[in-house]
Structure 1
């Protein structure tokens, strides 16, 4: 399953601006791809791929424990925290599924727009949401919840570090 062409084109334009340097070749208007130099070897990032692999296995455990912990503490929460935590759970679930898919696709198939989408989702949405869940004491953080949030935050931080380490 590929990204829709308008989304892919916008991500490619953004990734050309953000993730490349002065030594790149710019595609002509009739081309839809970046031309690399003949001796340039592109390889996927193994630490990023390993982190995404383990993250994909950890995410169902995180989701189940989050739902159980939310069910346990729901009666004790204030009304606005009930709404916020349910909304954050739904949003984080959708973002995490898309983020891991974009990371896999972008890394294994060496597609820069998908990697740009992965980095943007990780840095701008997923990391702030997991830090909110981890450090906001108003939502009555339980010990299991704190543990799984720490692991997911470490996965996100490691993936961002692995992406920019090359």
Structure 2
């Protein structure tokens, strides 16, 4: 059984004004009268994707410079800082590989769980670890280290902010799809 045309139009108008954020692109085709499927919208964040792309190319340079600087200052460090810095280097390498993969998968494929995992790894693990390396003077920070840590911290901060916005938009989109399916 199909709904009458006037009732269908009123439901479409209602769902557009109540359920959808008006700041987003209108779900209409160019002729203005055909309703496009709501699940065809692209929600990937260009800013997040660009930041992930450049971070992917920067991270090997960060790793090489961090390894060289750690090797140069290793004899001058106390034993517990030697252990802490080697552990941080290994952890950050593993976390960064997982984080970049989750960021790519979550953003490009518009998957909420992957993007949420990426965001949590960024905020809870990578950002505190890079801030520890950036601001703890007891680890004998070298100028090259300070420079690459600042760049990596800016990447992580940018990705955390743009990842939050992309995640919020994807959750809202998923929620609106759920509400639309209730009408069908």
TM-score w.r.t. the length of structure 1 is 0.76
What CA distance in whole angstroms lies between the structure 2 residues aligned with 1:165 and 1:107? Answer: 11
What CA distance in whole angstroms lies between the structure 1 residues aligned with 2:87 and 2:51? Answer: 26
Q: For residue 164 of structure 1, what is the aligned residue in structure 2?
A: 164
Q: How many residue pairs were aligned?
A: 132
Tell me, what secondary structure is at the counterpart of 1:110? coil
Q: For residue 150 of structure 1, what is the aligned residue in structure 2?
A: 150
What's the offset of the Cα at 1:155?
A: 0.0
Q: Deviations over 1:105-125 (max 9, x none)?
A: 100011110001000100000
Comparing both chains, which one has the higher relative contact order based on Cα–Cα distances under 8 Å and sequence gaps of 6 or more?
A: 1
Q: For 1:1-166, list aligned pairs within 5 A.
A: 38-39=37-38, 41-166=41-166
Query: Could you list the runs of 5+ residues in structure 2 that have no partner in the other structure?
Result: 1-18, 20-36, 167-184
- Structure showing greater Rg: 2
TM-score w.r.t. the length of structure 2 is 0.69
What CA distance in whole angstroms lies between the structure 1 residues aligned with 2:126 and 2:164? Answer: 17
What CA distance in whole angstroms lies between the structure 1 residues aligned with 2:162 and 2:119? Answer: 11
Query: Could you list the runs of 5+ residues in structure 1 that have no partner in the other structure?
Result: 1-22, 24-37
Tell me, what secondary structure is at the counterpart of 1:165? helix
Contact 2:119 2:164 in 1 (8 A): no
